[in-house]
Amino acid sequence: MNIRSLKFLDNKFKQYLFLLGIVFFVNNIDSAEGGPCKDYGDCDEFKYSLNDMASLQRGASTFLNYCYGCHSLQYSRWGRVATDLQIPEEIFFENLVFDKTIKPGDLMIGSMSKEKSAEWFGVAPPDLTLISRVRGDDWIYSYLRAYYEDSSKQYGVNNLVYPGTAMPNVLAALQGAQKLVCKDVPVIAKNGGEKRDDYGNTITKQKCGYLEVDEGSGELNKEQFDKLIYDLTNFLVYVGEPAKATRERMGWYVIFYFLIFTALSALLYREYHKDYYK
């Protein structure tokens, strides 16, 4: 479509279309290069479910047990998390808050000093309150499942999504020993089918870089571990915007209201219009 051929549009609008075109083009350049999940390829898709309280509660529990030692959630308050996740305050403080001097109104500022941890890990573990907004939930969900053993690294592990990450694989005991393996995969012909030799056998070639967990080496199987990371990521999405579930629920009511309102004003318009043609 040629923009000049749209004669009926005024110039302002054409300029606007042109700018929109540029924005679209620039966005496309950005997404074509590398991709945020690096060596992992495309990030795995993540669909949050912020009304699933059981999932959020399990995620909070995993976070406080395995992550809070290093990472703070400094823009959230303990009491708000307990209320939003519908955990009774006594149960929450009894089971998930390990420092007994903490009060519900306190911020979740973490327990590790930034200077000490920067010394230990090379970089201080970042605050994770807004991490789902910065990196995106797909990224986090992929990152936490993409650790593999690599003896050349300081902690003996590396990560496909974040190569050279300074964070140790803190969930290794649950996941088990994940390694990069090579596999024989079928060669794909031009027509999209598998290539076969003259005897009808599938032709394969070796491809490397697949993640595989040594069977039985972790406390959880793959499905359970993925579920654990799902809940954990879901919790981080909640923490990134506690009002998100409410906002999305309200959105439907607002659209519903607009529909009714439009219908009513259309009727009213018709009623007024009758007077013109009397």
Cβ contact 50:240 at 8 Å: no
171 binds ligand HEC (CB under 6 A): yes
CB 73 within 8 A of CB 128: yes
Q: Which structure tokens are listed for 84?
A: 């939003």
In the chain, what is the greatest distance between 2 CA atoms, to the nearest angstrom?
89
Q: Which of 146, 232, 237, 245 binds ligand HEC (CB under 6 A)?
A: 232
Nearest-angstrom CA–CA distance, 39 and 97: 37
Q: Does 104 bind ligand HEC (CB under 6 A)?
A: no
Residue nearest to ligand HEC (CB): 67
Binding mask 7-36 for ligand HEC (x = CB under 6 A): ------------------------------
Residue 130 interacts with ligand HEC (CB under 6 A): yes or no? no
Task: Give yes or no for residue 126 binding ligand HEC (CB under 6 A).
Answer: yes
Question: What is the rounded distance in angstroms from the CA atom of residue 267 to the CA atom of residue 270?
Answer: 5
- Under the criterion CB under 6 A, does residue 135 sit at the interface with ligand HEC? yes
Name the one residue in this structure whose structure tokens are 């009808």: 200
Q: Check binding of 96 to ligand HEC (CB under 6 A).
A: no
Q: Does 131 bind ligand HEC (CB under 6 A)?
A: yes
Judged by CB, which is closer to ligand HEC: 78, or 162? 162
Show Cβ contacts of residue 73 under 8 Å, excluding neighbours closer than 6 positions.
63, 108, 110, 127, 128, 129, 239
Which amino acid, 192? Answer: G
Give the nearer residue to ligand HEC in terms of CB position, either 134 or 185: 134
Are the beta carbons of 205 and 184 closer than 8 angstroms?
yes
In terms of Cα–Cα distance, which of 70, 95, 258 is closest to 170? 70
Contact status: 87 vs ligand HEC (CB under 6 A):
no
Binding of residue 125 to ligand HEC (CB under 6 A): yes
Size of the site for ligand HEC (CB under 6 A): 22
Query: Interface with ligand HEC includes 172 (CB under 6 A)?
Result: no
C-alpha dist (Å) from residue 41 to 38, 223, 245:
6, 21, 30
For binding to ligand HEC (CB under 6 A), which residues are involved? 66-67, 69-71, 121, 123, 125-126, 128, 131, 135, 140, 143-144, 165-168, 170-171, 232
